[in-house]
Structure 1
Amino acid sequence: MTDFSAEQVVWTQALKEAFGESVELQDEKGNTTVYDVAAEFEVNGQGYAILVQPDRQHEEYEVLRIVTAQDGSLELATIDDDDEWENVSELYDELTFPEEDED
């Protein structure tokens, strides 16, 4: 997989429009956790969501794929490919914390 660049990003609002500012995710054990939608964007036609727990704004965030179910509803899916996850995570960091231009 090739690296993503900021020029490829299309900011979206579909997840927020469908679910609001927060979403609830359920883990394998059935535990539910609320996350705020920090950002959502598409790269090369694939949607991604950046989620943070409200009480942990400055800690790790979750990077998930936004997929459209057969009925047209939106779902969040885990990114199983480590390279894809790393590329999206690095891209979000680049978009959120742009490096200062050094002249």
Structure 2
Amino acid sequence: MTDYSADQVIWTSRVTDAFGPVVELQDDQGKVSYYNVEKEFDVAGASYAVLRSENGNEDDEPEIFKILTAADGSLELVTIDDDDEWENVSELYDELTFPE
């Protein structure tokens, strides 16, 4: 996988448009958590959402999810399982959030 750069980013709002500024996620055990949508962007043909737990504080690291579109057009947020992809996306988010 190639490294992403800030000039490749296209800002989006698909998750916010579909669900609003707060999304409800359910884990494998059925526990529901609420997250504020901080940023959404497309890069290198993939879409990502940066979410922050409503129950956390501002110092907590946000979570980054991949946005997938189902055949029916609905959106799904999934964890990023590929270590290289996660590293590239998290570094890109840091670069976008904390420019040098």
Long gaps (5+) in structure 1 = none
Following superposition of structure 1 onto structure 2, how do residues 61-76 of structure 1 map, counting pairs within 5 Å?
61-76=62-77
Q: Which runs of 4+ in 1 moved over 4 A?
A: none
1:22 is matched with which residue?
Answer: 22
Matches of 1:33 and 1:13, distance apart in 2:
21
Matched, 1:2 2:2: yes
Alignment RMSD (CA, Å):
0.8
Give the greater-gyration-radius structure (CA).
1
2:32 is matched with which residue?
Answer: 32
One-letter identity of the residue aligned with 1:53: S
SS in 1 for 2:89: helix
Q: Normalising by the residue count of structure 2, what TM-score does the alignment of the two structures yield?
A: 0.95
Matches of 1:57 and 1:87, distance apart in 2:
23
SS in 2 for 1:94: helix
1:84 is matched with which residue?
Answer: 85
The superposition leaves residues 21-59 of structure 1 with CA deviations (integer Å, 9 ceiling, x where unpaired) of: 010111111100000001000001210000001232221
1:45 is matched with which residue?
Answer: 45
Equivalent pairs counted in the alignment come to: 99
- The percentage of counterpart residues that share the same residue type is 61
Matches of 1:61 and 1:71, distance apart in 2:
29
